[in-house]
Amino acid sequence: DADVTQTPRNRITKTGKRIMLECSQTKGHDRMYWYRQDPGLGLRLIYYSFDVKDINKGEISDGYSVSRQAQAKFSLSLESAIPNQTALYFCATSEPDRGGYNEQFFGPGTRLTVL
């Protein structure tokens, strides 16, 4: 089945380290998103990309950067990790239809802990 995958699934790192989270999809979707989930705060958008040449900031992009290496790959980087970036990170994909919006398909998540 076509899917969205994320690596690593769990990561513990130290303050100041550079971290990359990777997302791959076999759904053939053009649109990809990175969210972080914190208890009581829901899902907040970090960055999104509508195609390989398109990158957009979300509501909480400070401290993060992204790279869209191909239609199927979208990576999130933390250049210098800090403890308040400890969270569950989700990648998602979507493909709009003629009606506009369509379902977002989420990856399994990456649990990141910054000590």
Partner 1 sequence: GENVEQHPSTLSVQEGDSAVIKCTYSDSASNYFPWYKQELGKRPQLIIDIRSNVGEKKDQRIAVTLNKTAKHFSLHITETQPEDSAVYFCAAGDDFGNEKLTFGTGTRLTIIP
87 binds partner 1 (CB under 8 A): no
Find the part of the chain contacting partner 1 (CB under 8 A) among 8-16, 17-25, 72-80, 97-105: 97-105
Q: In whole angstroms, how close is the CB of 58 to partner 1 at the nearest point?
A: 7
5 versus 80: smaller Cβ distance to partner 1? 5
Of 7, 2, 1, give the one whose Cα is nearest residue 93: 2
- How many CB atoms within 10 Å of residue 71? 15
Long-range contacts of residues 38-46, Cβ cutoff 8 Å, at least 24 apart: 38/87, 38/88, 43/90, 46/76, 46/89
Total binding residues for partner 1 by CB under 8 A?
25
Long-range contacts of residues 61-66, Cβ cutoff 8 Å, at least 24 apart: 64/34, 66/34
Q: In whole angstroms, how close is the CB of 43 to partner 1 at the nearest point?
A: 4
Q: How far apart are CA 25 and CA 84, in angstroms?
A: 28
Find the part of the chain contacting partner 1 (CB under 8 A) among 7-15, 18-26, 65-73, 107-115: 107-115
Q: Which residues are at the interface with partner 1 (CB under 8 A)?
A: 31, 33, 35, 40-45, 48, 50, 56, 58-59, 90, 96, 99-101, 103-104, 106-109
